Structure 1
Amino acid sequence: MSKTAQPTTQAGQPSGGLGAIPWATLAVSIAGLAVAAYLTYEHFTAGTTLACPDTGVVNCAKVTSSQYSKLFGIPVALLGLAFFVGMTALSVPPMWRTGSPWPARLRLAGVLVGVVFVCYLIWAELFQIDAICLWCTVVHALTLVLFALVIVRQALLPPTS
């Protein structure tokens, strides 16, 4: 019995079904989009409805109002929202099925930048702010899961010649 090769796109991706990883990537991106949208809303409404403790080590208000809550004057929550908007757009089925290598490259670049930024934010929470935001931690975890999914999917692709 001989195995027949599955047809692939120009980018070397299977042209048949997407598999579980792209769908998981889309789901994680949408979840991140929702949490980042909530944090962005809270940022612009002074965080009066933040559903998070405001005393002790877990203190969302302390984290989201610290000097580290902005980068070059741009709210970190808004940067997170932009990140997840982009990752959601790059994770819809047509972007996984395209013959162009650019969506895969942009996904990879996006998650790499996202993970570096998450490392910076975790450092700021632990060593500069001395407080942890639970909502921010959810965004950090979703970014790390998204990174893992994109990296695993990239590793599973057949090499292009």
Structure 2
Amino acid sequence: MTDRRLRIASYVIALVGVCAAGYLVYTKYAHGGVCGVSGGCTVVQQSEWSELFGIPVSVLGVVGYGLIFAALTLRGEMARLLLVLFSGGGFLFSMYLMYRAYITLDAFCPFCTTSAVCMTLLFVISATRFVRGPDLVAAATDLDADAEGDEVDERGGVDGELAGA
């Protein structure tokens, strides 16, 4: 899978994650943590682990996804490193929260779980992109086009051709 496709997948996964975290923020403030979907949501949202230093963890999740979106708009090695750091931190924090929800509270919150799965996928994709480095097909196409004086279009192709086709 190309770097571009992995980046697009990351955008989609982050969008799903921010929607799940956003819904939890909404229920936390609008309904005191009472979620109409599952009794487990209410147990988790009203537990002592639902806040960190007085800030709801769902708000921290929205901020984390915001940082991931911001890093996805950047290019280069530093952007890929930031994505690994942000998604890795989110992944570790999500695993801690899942432990508290499932083991300590014996409760299931589908929105918390959705966010945790999204952070896990984002971390795996980010780590993969970081280890692989820049997309070699696109990089080779760019180099070939530069050497020949051709223009590289936004899809990574030369003069209308698709990269790797």
Q: Is the 8 A contact 1:29 1:91 kept in 2?
A: no
Q: Deviation of residue 142 (structure 1)?
A: 0.6
Q: Distance in 1 between matches of 2:99 and 2:3?
A: 36
Distance 1:85 1:155, change over 3 A: same
1:53 corresponds in structure 2 to 38
Identical columns (%): 27
Once the two structures are superposed, residues 1-50 of structure 1 have per-residue CA deviations (whole angstroms, 9 ceiling, x without a partner) of xxxxxxxxxxxxxxxx85210111111111111111111111111134x2
* Greater relative contact order (Cα < 8 A, sep 6+): 1
Match of 1:28 in 2: 13
Moved segments of 4+, more than 6 Å: none
Moved more, 126-135 or 77-86: 126-135
Aligned residue in 2 for 1:40: 25
Q: Counterpart in 1 of 2:132? A: 156
The code of the aligned residue for 1:119 comes to M
Instruction: Structure 2: give runs of 5+ residues left out of the alignment.
Output: 135-165
Partner of 1:13: none
Counterparts of 1:57-76 in structure 2, within 5 Å, are: 59-76=40-57
> 2-side partners of 1:110 and 1:53: how far apart?
29
Q: Which residue of 2 aligns with 1:125?
A: 101
Equivalent residues of 1:37, 1:81 under 8 A apart:
yes
Tell which structure's C-alpha radius of gyration is larger.
2
How far apart, CA to CA, are the structure 2 residues paired with 1:31 and 1:107? 17
Choose between structure 1 and 2: higher helix proportion: 2
The 2-side partners of 1:74 and 1:21 are apart by 32
2:89 is aligned with 1:113: yes
TM-score by length of 2: 0.74
How many pairs does the alignment contain? 132
TM-score (norm 1): 0.76
One-letter code aligned to 2:122: L
State the AA in 2 paired with 1:140. A
Secondary structure in 2 aligned to 1:130? Answer: coil
Q: After superposition, give the CA deviation of every residue in 1:65-102 in whole Å (9 maximum; x if it has no partner).
A: 1001001211000000100111111113xx1xx34x33
**Contact residue 80 and residue 129 of structure 2 kept, 8 A:** no
